[in-house]
Amino acid sequence: MPRWKRDAAAVLCVLLGCGGGTGASTARNSGQPSGGPTSDAGSADPDAGNDAGGGFIPPVDAGADDAGQPDADAGTGERWDGGIVGSADGGLVEPPVCSSPAPDAPSDLCPRLNSTLGFPVVHQTREAPAEVPEQGVYCGAGAYPASGSGVVLHPMTALHPRFDFVDASGNDLGSFDNIAPWSGGFRVLPQAAGFSLFYIYVGGLSSYPIQFLDDHARNFGRSFGYDLVKLSGGGTGIISRVESAPGCTPPLDTRIRVQRFDEHGVPALAQPTELTCDFALMPVMLAANAAGDVLVLVAQESIDFTGWLGFWLDRDFRILQAFITPELAAARSNHDHAITTLLDGSFVLRFDGKWMYRIQPGATTLEPAPCWLVQRPFSDPQAIHDRTAYAVRRATSCDRALEILTPDGSSCGFVGPLESPGEGCEIAVGRDGTISGSAHAVDAGAGQPQDCVLKFWPRALGPSDP
C-alpha cells in the first residue's frame, strides 16, 4: 500500500477509534485541518521548521541500540534470545458458558459499596461567541475522569479547544487551551494531582502531543505518541510508532515502542522500549496491574484481521518475555478489543466486544474469563473503594447508570440514573471516586448564548488507586 494511503488511513483509524481500546472518553469536533500542534512555553516543538501544513513529522529513529535487547518479530522469523514461548496446550480454550447470573452480594456488604447519591455539584458557564461565528466557543461534550484530588475537567470545544479545571465545590481553578486547533479527539488519564492529556489533531500523522498537567492546568511536561494508557497504581504508558525504522522491512516497517512515565511526567527509562516491527495500522493494547506486571498485545498483519503477539514487561517497561498462544493467534484484531486488570492482579482480554480469556501475571497460557464478565459484554470494569469493588458501565447502553460489583462479581445493584434524558450517555469515574456526567449545553432560545453545564458527584465511589 502506498505510504500516503497508509498515513491517511492511520489518522482516520485513530479519529474513528478503530478496533476499540481500554476505557477512554472521547469528544469530537469537526473542522478544517491544522498545520500541527501549538507550541508550549519552554518546550521545544518537535516539528518546528518541518511543518508544511501537513501536521507533525515524526522524528527519525537514529538507530540507537536496544540496550542488549534482541529484536522480536514473529512475522520475519526473528526470535528472542530464549525463543518466543508458545502455548503448551495444542487446543483452543473456549470461553465459559455462563447461563445463570451471579448471586447477589451479602446484604451487609452492599450498603457500604453502594450508598445513595446526593445532589450533584453543577459547574455552569456561558459560551462566548466570537465575532466570526466559526471561531466561537461552543459547549463541550463528553465525560472525563477526575484526578485523585477531585478536580474535574469541563470540556469546551471550538476552533481552539479548552478544558476548564473545576474543584470539588465547583470553583474554577484554571483553563488549559494549548491544544492544536480542530483537534479530533481527546483521551484523559487521571493522576494523583493532575492529568495526562492526549489529543489527536486533524492533519497530523503518526505521533500526537501528550501533555502532563497539574490540578491548576499548569503544564509541567510533554511527550508524543500514538496512544496512552492508564497504569494501575499511577503513571502513564505511552505507545509510539516509528515508521521506516532501521531493521524493519516493508510492509512490516513500523517499529512499535512503549515507555512508562510517572505521576510527574518523568520517564522511567530514558529511551522507549522497542517491541517489534509491524504494519503501521495494526492496533496495540497495554495494561499494568498494581504489582507492576505489564502486558502488551500487538496485532499481527493478516488478511483476515486475526492474531496477536504477547509481551510481558516489568514495571519500568523492560522486556521480560515474548509469547504466543493458539487463542491469541486466532483472536480477531479489528473490532472492540481491550485488556484490563482485575482486583486479584490478573488480566482479562476482550475480543469482538466479549470478555473471553484471563491470563495470570507472567503466564503464557490463557484460561476462561470469569463468568460475571462473560455475562457483561461491551463493559469496562473499574476498581473503586480502595480497590475492594468494581463499578461497571455497559458501553452499548445509555441507561446512565453504574453497576456496583463485589470482587467475585456479585451485584450490589446500580448507582443512577446520573443524568436526565437528553443530557448525554457518557459517565466517567475519577481516581478519587468522583462520578462525572456528560458535559452538555442548555438551550437558551434562538439567537441566545447557551449555558454549558457539567454535573458531578464528588468522591461518590471512593478512591480507585493507591
pLDDT at 376 over 50: yes
Degrees (nearest 5) of the Cα angle 329, 96, 325? Answer: 20
pLDDT of residue 307: 94
Beta carbons within 8 Å of 137's beta carbon, 6+ residues apart: 127, 128, 129, 130, 156, 158, 162
CATH 2.130.10 fits 3-36+79-457, yes or no: yes
pLDDT of residue 92: 52
pLDDT of residue 147: 95
Model pLDDT for residues 131-151, shown as the tens digit of each residue: 555 555 678 888 999 999 999
CB 449 within 8 A of CB 127: yes
pLDDT at 192 over 70: yes
CB 344 within 8 A of CB 406: no
Closest CA to 259 of 227, 220, 298, 221: 227
pLDDT of residue 327: 94
pLDDT at 58 over 70: no
Average pLDDT over residues 178-207: 81
Q: How far apart are CA 265 and CA 196, in angstroms?
A: 8
Which residue would you say has higher pLDDT here, 440 or 257? 257
pLDDT of residue 12: 37
pLDDT of residue 62: 33
pLDDT of residue 165: 97
What band does 35 get if pLDDT is binned at 50, 70 and 90?
A: very low
Model pLDDT for residues 432-459, shown as the tens digit of each residue: 999 998 888 877 666 666 788 999 999 9
Model pLDDT for residues 281-340, shown as the tens digit of each residue: 789 999 999 999 999 999 988 888 899 999 999 999 999 999 999 999 999 998 899 999
Of the ranges 3-7, 117-121, 362-366, 458-462, which one carries the lowest mean pLDDT score?
3-7
Residue with cell 494549548: 178
Which residue would you say has higher pLDDT here, 13 or 133? 133
Every domain of the chain and the residues it spans: 3-36+79-457
pLDDT of residue 401: 83
* Mean pLDDT taken over the chain: 76
Average pLDDT over residues 206-210: 81
What band does 191 get if pLDDT is binned at 50, 70 and 90?
A: very high
**pTM listed for this prediction:** 0.78
If DSSP states are collapsed to H, E and C, what string results for 159-198? CCCEEEEECCCCCEEEEECCCCCCEEEEEEEEECCEEEEE
DSSP 225-256: ESEEEE-TTS-EEEEEEEET-TT-BTTB-EEE
Of the ranges 24-33, 124-133, 150-159, 376-385, which one carries the lowest mean pLDDT score?
24-33
